[in-house]
Amino acid sequence: MDNRVFVFQLDNYEPAALYEAMGTLWRHLQLEEQFSNKKVLVKPNLLVGAPPQKAVCTHPEVVRSVLQNLSAKQVQVGDSPGFGSTGSVARTAGIYQVCSEENVELTDFCDPQTIQAPQTAKINSVPLSSAVVGSDEVINIAKLKTHGLTRYTGAVKNLFGCLPGKLKGQMHLRMEEIDRFSDYLLDVYLTVNPAVSIVDGIVAMEGSGPRTGDPRKAGVLLAGKDAVAVDTVACHIIGLDPATVPTLQAARRRGIGCSMLEQIDVIGASLDDVRISDFKTVSGSHSALKNLSPFLKRLLRNQLTAHPKVKVDSCTGCGICQHACPAGAVSMEEAAQIEEGACIRCYCCQEMCPEGAIELKYRGLGRLLR
């Protein structure tokens, strides 16, 4: 695997600077030759319908710079949003307009096809969108954000969106433990096998990500062929130890990609020049429970993992959290109600809430150890 990670220091989303940075990446990685005469799928982060200034989705100008450098037989842009249709989410995020202006098809991720996972995966097969399966190459364009479950979401986590619709929720339900879920995210990454992974961190999201956190100018665009290496560099930039990020823990344990900074060839801006000392990160889920007895696991999980709590005064009763919950643990009265015994701590409710009305709260031992 190519261990180079390109770090472009950019103050804003000025199109000419983005086009130049992407052209540099294309030349160094010889992507023009790789994409020639191929069907290429561009996979941005289209979590929910939010305007670019909210830093929820991949910025449309980053997508545009990729499309303008891309010469291929056929190009599509697509994702499977957490809520809303691909078209409506892309319109709000500004990506629909870019696709129209660049004469590129925007495709919805539907019609799952189960395909065999590679031998390096822990699972036998993965259900992916037919658009993903039908492409020759995938360009992965993530957004640099915090995440209530996985601490950080970037290149590896972005490919979870290659699963259509409610399949993502079903996988949360099947893999409640963060270690199993992280292994699954890596297996999806290995199966999709993107040609290049790009992380938009020009304006990132800190705090209560991945939807209701705060936009934070980080001034970096990261890219490379190894998504694990790209995420490792991103974590170092925001002051997050990669060893505490479940997906990168799993990658190191399984020998997937490069998760050791000293083994990564960082090209471009010096990390000393782009590091952020006060980036607001989150604790994420706890991963040290897998070898315990069921009784101790339940007891400690209750103490060590955060509980989603509804801020009643902020809840509008829209029902999005109820729709997003794979375990059916959310009911609606005047405000959302979360049944604690049924909650699997996937935090999909917190991730999808448009009002930031669901917060993650620790209790007892969990508060002491944070």
pLDDT at 179: 93
pLDDT digits (tens, 9 = 90+) for 177-218: 899 999 999 999 999 999 999 999 999 999 999 999 999 999
Both tokens of 350, joined, read 């917190």
pLDDT at 27: 97
Please state, in angstroms and rounded to a whole number, the distance separating the CA atoms of residues 41 and 43.
6
Which band of pLDDT confidence, cut at 50, 70 and 90, is reported for residue 28? very high
Which band of pLDDT confidence, cut at 50, 70 and 90, is reported for residue 173? confident
Which band of pLDDT confidence, cut at 50, 70 and 90, is reported for residue 160? very high
Both tokens of 130, joined, read 């037919």
End-to-end CA distance of the chain: 36
- Nearest residue to 22 via CA among 79, 63, 69: 69
Percentage helix, strand, coil, to 5, in the chain? 40, 25, 40
pLDDT at 302: 64
Across the chain, mean pLDDT equals 93
Q: Which residues, in sequence order, are bridge partners of residue 43?
A: 140
Please state at what angle helix 227-237 crosses helix 246-254, rounded to 10 degrees: 130
- Nearest residue to 19 via CA among 71, 58, 65, 63: 65
Q: Mean per-residue pLDDT for 250-265?
A: 97
pLDDT of 8 higher than 90: yes
pLDDT of 228 higher than 90: yes
pLDDT of 292 higher than 70: no
Long-range (24+ apart) CB contacts under 8 A made by 205-208 are 205/55, 205/56, 205/143, 205/144, 205/145, 205/146, 206/146, 206/238, 206/279, 206/280, 206/281, 207/146, 207/280, 207/282, 208/146, 208/148, 208/282, 208/350, 208/356, 208/359, 208/360
The predicted model scores a pTM of 0.91
Number of residues in the chain: 370
Please state, in angstroms and rounded to a whole number, the distance separating the CA atoms of residues 245 and 281.
11
pLDDT at 346: 92
pLDDT of 280 higher than 90: yes
pLDDT at 369: 44
pLDDT at 288: 46
pLDDT digits (tens, 9 = 90+) for 74-133: 999 999 999 999 999 999 999 999 999 999 999 999 899 999 999 999 999 999 999 999
pLDDT at 298: 56
pLDDT digits (tens, 9 = 90+) for 128-151: 999 999 999 999 999 999 999 999
Q: Which residues, in sequence order, are bridge partners of residue 46?
A: none
Q: Mean per-residue pLDDT for 1-22?
A: 97
pLDDT at 303: 63
pLDDT digits (tens, 9 = 90+) for 337-367: 999 989 998 999 999 999 999 999 887 554 5
Percent pLDDT > 70 in the chain is 93
pLDDT of 25 higher than 90: yes
